[in-house]
Structure 1
Amino acid sequence: MLTDPTMWRPAGEMHRCLTDGGSAFTEIFGTPFFDHFARDAETAAVFHDGMAAMSEPENEPIAEAYDFPPTGTVVDVGGGHGGLLVEVLRRRPGLHGSSATRRTS
């Protein structure tokens, strides 16, 4: 994921975002980040799999450390494959989960 042009090309233009405003990603690829992925399934899969791989080691310790209530609904906004949500629900069987990953049409 980190070697994909969708990551390193905008990172190389970060200074421009800070000085001039706007989005380097949109300027380079002609569309906002997630809109680009909606049009390019292969690149989107690389991104989502990469994010899941990077966050996977953190899911268990975060779910363990946070004092979630015993009942209710946990909403994982932008949770990709839902790894953190799964870990939370494993520890709190009284909770229900919902994923609100951003999707574009």
Structure 2
Amino acid sequence: MLHPDVAELLEALRGLERLLFEQGINTWAARLKQAADNIEKSDAYGLQQFLSMFGGMGSLNDLILSQDGKLPIEENEQLNSLRSKAWSLANNLRREIL
């Protein structure tokens, strides 16, 4: 059984993964899936994989969803919420491990 914080992180990561696949952002979705799969197996490398997606140009932080040249407000709010929640949880877990 996973620690509740790990389970919550996985829920956020899987939500991000689904959202990005639905939006056709398959490269990011696949990277999130790989990190989530590792975390689900209690492999701390998954935390590193996920946290390394932030920072620098072209990072997950920079991602904004668009459809037909328009910015879908609801989907971008969901992206921001899940991304922030996942980053916060992963960062806290990393601190606990180190």
After TM superposition, the score normalised by the length of structure 1 is 0.29
Report which of the two has the higher share of helix: 2
After TM superposition, the score normalised by the length of structure 2 is 0.31
Report which of the two has the higher share of strand: 1
> Comparing both chains, which one has the higher relative contact order based on Cα–Cα distances under 8 Å and sequence gaps of 6 or more?
2
